[in-house]
Amino acid sequence: MLGDVQYVDRSGERIALHGANEVEGIINVVAPYGAFQRSDLEPEVPAGDPIPGRTEVTGLRVGGYPITYGASTLMVVGFDDDGPVGRGLLTYGQSGDAASEHHADQMREFSAKRLRPLRFDEDDIVADPKYWTMTLHG
């Protein structure tokens, strides 16, 4: 299974990933390297030994493809008689803080191919069980 060898490491948790590099003509792009440098705060995870002739071209190493590049936001939106209906997520999570419960939560959902509902109107936003407000006074 692809997830056995293609993965992302979030603070020591190995999360299996689907997807492929853009050379395969896929919309869900993930890769062990990319056009941009990493911008996350994750510590560099030791990668497996290079495989001569493969690592230079594909990023494959002993132990698999440690993904460090790819899709960051997914959103699917349609319209019905009541307006927009959508699902999506921020693939790498809501927090760069490894101690936060939201550090890898959406990466796990991305791995499982589960998109969460996107809220477009006030009633749906307030009805979300995780909805909360904060008032700042200064």
Q: What is the pLDDT of residues 56-77, one digit of tens each?
A: 777 778 888 777 777 788 889 9
pLDDT of 34 > 80? The answer is: no
Closest to 71 (Cα-Cα) out of 29, 127, 99, 126: 29
Lowest mean pLDDT among 11-20, 21-30, 75-84, 122-131: 21-30
Q: Do 115 and 76 contact (CB within 8 A), yes or no? A: yes
pLDDT at 31: 75
Q: Between 29 and 38, where is the model more confident? A: 29
Q: What is the DSSP letter of 114?
A: -
pTM of the model: 0.72
pLDDT at 79: 94
Q: Do 88 and 115 contact (CB within 8 A), yes or no? A: yes
Q: Do 10 and 104 contact (CB within 8 A), yes or no? A: yes
Place of tokens 């299974």: 1
Lowest mean pLDDT among 21-35, 57-71, 115-129: 21-35
**Alpha helices, DSSP H only, in the chain?**
55-58, 105-111, 122-127
Lowest mean pLDDT among 8-17, 22-31, 37-46, 119-128: 37-46
